[in-house]
Amino acid sequence: MTNILITGAARGLGFELARQFAEQGERVYATCRNPQAAEALRNVAEASEGRLTVHRMDVGDMASVKACAEELKDVDIDILINNAGVWGGLDTQTFQNMDYDNWARELNIMLMGPFRVMQNFLPHVRRGHDKKIVSITSQTAAHAYDHLIGYSYATAKAGLNRAMTALAQEMQDEDLIFTLLHPGWIKTDMAGDVADLEPADAARDNIVAIRNLTKEDSGKFRKWDGGIHPW
């Protein structure tokens, strides 16, 4: 059995990853910022016979991250998935019209958030078997992506990418695996119905990609289908 911690598991991709990993018999620590409001997740937990538990963690708040790390201090984590994310909408993150408060919020949640989580949960992952840290990033962070981007979102994810490659380099002599995953364009609240993939299908493929990661993938940028993503 693999111990998996997922951030932002209340809905969207995080919810599906949590649900499916538990269905596959793994032990899932599903974290979210408001467990009270996460009814679907709590229902999965209730039906899981203890394989999935719900824990409060707001990745934007250091005290909350520290409290969750302390609550789970005796748990060895095999796979840590930085999934929580926010999208403030394209209209308010263009060159002409930038909402700087939203930019700060996106940086806090999608760049500093995973950093806080990794800082506080590294001891748990070091004790785990797989020692995988997967950060869900976005194709829009890639220089190779040549469509219109939301500047706040894309730069937050690009910063995350750089932090992950630096961590992979800094800890290359350990068994730790730091990998970036573009999860596909998914029909969640974030992307809406115009996107390509159903959340359940995307989660299934992302799970296969995560299971297949090896030390060779540390510092790499991969896609939901297991392929390499161009930088």
Ligand X SMILES: NC(=O)c1ccc[n+]([C@@H]2O[C@H](COP(=O)([O-])OP(=O)(O)OC[C@H]3O[C@@H](n4cnc5c(N)ncnc54)[C@H](OP(=O)(O)O)[C@@H]3O)[C@@H](O)[C@H]2O)c1
Residue 188 in contact with ligand X, rule: CB under 6 A: yes
| Residue 87: both structure tokens together | 């999208």
CB of 13 to ligand X, least distance (A): 4
CB of 178 to ligand X, least distance (A): 16
Query: Nearest Cα to 111, choosing from 68, 154, 170?
Result: 154
| Residue 28 host element (H or E) | strand 27-32
Report how far residue 114's alpha carbon sits from residue 176's, in angstroms, rounded to the nearest whole number.
Answer: 16
Considering the complex, state which of residue 123 and residue 192 has its C-beta at the smaller distance from ligand X.
192
Q: Cβ distance 207 to 161 under 8 Å? A: no
The contact pattern for ligand X, residues 91-120, with x = CB under 6 A and - = no contact, is ------------------x-----------
Query: Nearest Cα to 155, choosing from 167, 174, 141?
Result: 141
| Residue 176: both structure tokens together | 């730790």
Candidate residues 136, 149, 163, 203; the one interacting with ligand X per rule CB under 6 A: 136
Report how far residue 196's alpha carbon sits from residue 106's, in angstroms, rounded to the nearest whole number.
Answer: 23
The contact pattern for ligand X, residues 17-46, with x = CB under 6 A and - = no contact, is ---------------xxx------------
Residue 84 in contact with ligand X, rule: CB under 6 A: yes
Residue 155 in contact with ligand X, rule: CB under 6 A: no
Residue 185 in contact with ligand X, rule: CB under 6 A: yes
Which residue of this chain has its Cβ atom nearest to ligand X in the complex? Answer: 12
Contacts with ligand X by CB under 6 A: the residue count is 29
CA angle 229, 90, 188 (to 5 degrees): 65
Binding site for ligand X (CB under 6 A): 7-8, 10-14, 32-34, 58-60, 83-86, 109, 136, 138, 182-183, 185-186, 188-191, 195
